[in-house]
Amino acid sequence: MAAIDGQAGQDVIDALAGIAPDFATYLFEFPFGDIYSRPGLSLRDREIATIAALAAMGTAQPQLKVHVTAGLNVGLTQAEITEILMQMAVYAGFPAALNGLFAAKEVFAERAAATAQDGA
Amino acid sequence: MAAIDGQAGQDVIDALAGIAPDFATYLFEFPFGDIYSRPGLSLRDREIATIAALAAMGTAQPQLKVHVTAGLNVGLTQAEITEILMQMAVYAGFPAALNGLFAAKEVFAERAAATAQDGA
Amino acid sequence: MAAIDGQAGQDVIDALAGIAPDFATYLFEFPFGDIYSRPGLSLRDREIATIAALAAMGTAQPQLKVHVTAGLNVGLTQAEITEILMQMAVYAGFPAALNGLFAAKEVFAERAAATAQDGA
Amino acid sequence: MAAIDGQAGQDVIDALAGIAPDFATYLFEFPFGDIYSRPGLSLRDREIATIAALAAMGTAQPQLKVHVTAGLNVGLTQAEITEILMQMAVYAGFPAALNGLFAAKEVFAERAAATAQDGA
Amino acid sequence: MAAIDGQAGQDVIDALAGIAPDFATYLFEFPFGDIYSRPGLSLRDREIATIAALAAMGTAQPQLKVHVTAGLNVGLTQAEITEILMQMAVYAGFPAALNGLFAAKEVFAERAAATAQDGA
Amino acid sequence: MAAIDGQAGQDVIDALAGIAPDFATYLFEFPFGDIYSRPGLSLRDREIATIAALAAMGTAQPQLKVHVTAGLNVGLTQAEITEILMQMAVYAGFPAALNGLFAAKEVFAERAAATAQDGA
């Protein structure tokens, strides 16, 4: 989970500590322990699926941002993520695609700012 | 479009003829002419995104079946499609994953029956 | 309500009799007694809004068919209803538009068959 | 799980055998092993929550029917389930409530038929 | 309505005054006058259903916060509300559960702060 | 597009420039070039449909605000838009209607402030 989600995953676990600490355990066990660790699909392919699903649903912007980061961490490029999000216009409508693109734009900008700071 | 959707795509166009023939044109132009033909993402990756999105939304079972077929046509295996659909339990709930898996099971069975018939 | 929904509205009330007869009363009171009877928007405009909403949501195909009929009853043409449904591709995706168009196509065909029978 | 879902749960597991047998394991482990077995909420209360959620979402009619049965198995009455479903009109709209009520009506009728047969 | 929603209900009515004062009347009449006042289900059970539905839909965070408060007002504990929200991961996915839990966490913190202030 | 959306449309195009400039082209071509320019339905009727759909979906508040503005630009009154949004309570639930009304209230207030400033 650390490899995929990095700091964002840790932030979710920390936030759960005050209300539902067991739920952090479930977040490890089922999604990561059971699903993402299965050998039949690469992590890159899994993140394509997750980014598409979250953008299409349109009800999970915080989680979409976490998975845009996760997608970059497992090898998707910014251009590929942008393609996935644009494609969602076909299946979930232009608002879903636009809101997904703007969420991704925020993540890309945060990473650029962090990189600039690291290099300063 | 023929390469991706095959007979299922043609069936949709035929069904539109009696009510909204222009809409069949739009179905070509925007999704296929504009989006799927873009070079930045492979057709295989695009079908991962579409299958995930349609299963997560849960409101487009006929289109999900078309794209399970399309996914197989562009190189996804039955096992990979099954992985994508199981993964949707994490993001859209177990019912979305189950309904997606049962839609895929129907497509797989129809193709097995067609193959058996071709080989008879 | 009879003027708008005709037989379809009566069918819903009959179906509720066996499980939740009070709910049929609520169906009259709030949607029809409170909302549709308000003077600020014509019944034709109200049915445009309802057809669009139900098609975009994608979870209410039986009710969408009732309101395609209701739209025709209050003055929308088949061509106008088709335009509304095609437009939903922009906001809710092509599957929502397609499933809406196919629901409308069924209603149009049923009415054509009923008219043909009446005229025989 | 047998105590809650009975035959319907077994049918789902059987249907998964041909496509995703591991998913049947996950269906046990997370929902039943992790969630339903937690002591903080009665099974009756949990089924109120599930019936409400599935009816409000409107994308999981087969699972809603399974949980109407499950609700009856853990002590909800038909009248209470009807109340829950009517209430969904407030939060998810009248179509969601109507489609939920009609799903419940089917379950109630199937059980009445089964009981009549057992008693014959 | 005052007993269930308290200040939050009044805030909604005040906010409606500037745009749709009649809608405040409907908010009383149908949900409270017609549904919540029915004898067949306790207010505690009704709030379980509403909290579950709003969290599963994921499109009504302000209303979910109102009903977390309402649930506490009619006898649900913070631990029970947390259980309901965790359970939504099964039916609507982990993001829906997480976003519901974080909304509840905000309500719990606001009440703790208010109680601390009252006791000062 | 300028006639319908005005500044809001331009803002979306500007925001896309940094991430997906081609998507701004698609936003013109399909929704505006293909759909809104069709002769079969007036722009006023098209905006009724769009406002209803976006409010019912509940996942596109920024786009709903753009289309409340667009509706006013093509001849809908504030009172008519309020009627459309109240009506959504019937089909998508009271939260969808409330969140739509509050989005419209913001747009109405912004326009009143802009008009007051222009007249100062």
Which pLDDT does position E41 carry in this prediction?
Answer: 97
Higher pLDDT, E98 or D30: E98
Q: State the residue for tokens 């995953």.
A: A9
D95: tokens are 């179509």
Chain D's closest residue to A38, CA to CA, is: D22
**Which candidate from C41, C79, C84 shows the least CB-CB separation from F49?**
C84
Burial A61-91 (b: 16+ CB within 10 A, else e): bebbbbbbbbbbbbebebebbbbbbbbbbbb
Q: pLDDT over 90 for what percent of chain E?
A: 76
Is residue A33 scored above 90 in pLDDT? Answer: no
Report the gap between the CA of A97 and the closest CA in chain C (Å): 10
> Considering chain E, what is the average pLDDT of its residues?
93
CA D103/CA D55 separation, integer angstroms: 9
Percent of chain A topping pLDDT 90: 76
For residues B79-106, average pLDDT:
98
pLDDT level of residue A38 (50, 70, 90 thresholds):
very high
Task: Give the integer Cα–Cα distance in Å for A53 and B52.
Answer: 5
Residues in chain C closer than 8 A to F91 (CB atoms): 50, 53-54, 57, 60, 63
How do residues F5-29 score in pLDDT, each as one tens digit? 778 888 898 999 989 999 999 998 8
Amino acid found at C104: A
Q: How many CB pairs under 8 A join C and D?
A: 47
Instruction: Tell whether the model's pLDDT for residue C76 goes beyond 70.
Output: yes
Residue D88 has a pLDDT of 98
- Residues E37-52, mean pLDDT to the nearest whole number: 97
- Residue F85, CA atoms < 13 Å, CB-side half-sphere: 33
Instruction: Give the residue from A27, A36, A59, A61 with the most E CB atoms within 10 Å of its CB, the best one to mutate.
Output: A59
pLDDT in tens, E49-73: 999 999 999 999 999 999 999 999 9
Please give the pLDDT value at position D120: 66
| Per-residue confidence (pLDDT) for residue B106, from 0 to 100 | 97
Q: For E4-24, what is the mean pLDDT?
A: 87
Q: What is the ipTM of this complex?
A: 0.93
Determine the pLDDT at residue B119: 74
Does residue F1 register a pLDDT over 70?
A: no
Q: At what angle do helices E78-92 and E43-57 cross, to 10 degrees?
A: 40
What is the mean predicted confidence (pLDDT) over F36-44? 95
C95 pLDDT more than 80: yes
Q: Are D93 and F92 an interchain contact pair (Cβ–Cβ within 8 Å)?
A: yes
The pLDDT, as a whole number, for residue E3 is 65
Mean pLDDT of A71-93: 97
Asked whether E51 and E68 are in contact (CB, 8 A), the reply is yes
- List residues of B whose CB lies inside 8 A of any E CB: 56, 89-96
pLDDT one-digit tens code per residue, B36-73? 999 999 999 999 999 999 999 999 999 999 999 999 99
Per-residue confidence (pLDDT) for residue E25, from 0 to 100: 92
Rounded to the nearest integer, the mean pLDDT of chain A is: 93
Which pLDDT score is estimated for B32?
83
pLDDT at F117 over 90: no
Block residue for tokens 């789902």: D12
Determine, for residues B60 and C95 on separate chains, whether the beta-carbon distance falls below 8 Å. yes
- Best probe of the B interface among E57, E59, E87, E94, by most B CBs < 10 A, is E94
C-alpha pair distances (Å), C78 with each of C61, C68, C108, E13: 17, 9, 8, 40
Contacts of A20 in chain E (CB under 8 A): 82, 85-86, 101
Cβ E91 vs Cβ E56: under 8 Å: yes
pLDDT-based confidence at C2, cuts 50/70/90?
Answer: low
- pLDDT tens per residue, range C102-117: 999 999 999 999 988 8
List of chains touching E (3+ CB pairs within 8 A): A, B, C, D, F
pLDDT 10s digits, E94-120: 999 999 999 999 999 999 999 898 876
Q: Which of B13, B22, B23 is the best substitution to test chain C (most C C-beta atoms within 10 A)?
A: B23
Nearest CA to CA, how far is B37 from chain D (Å)? 31
pLDDT of residue B103: 98
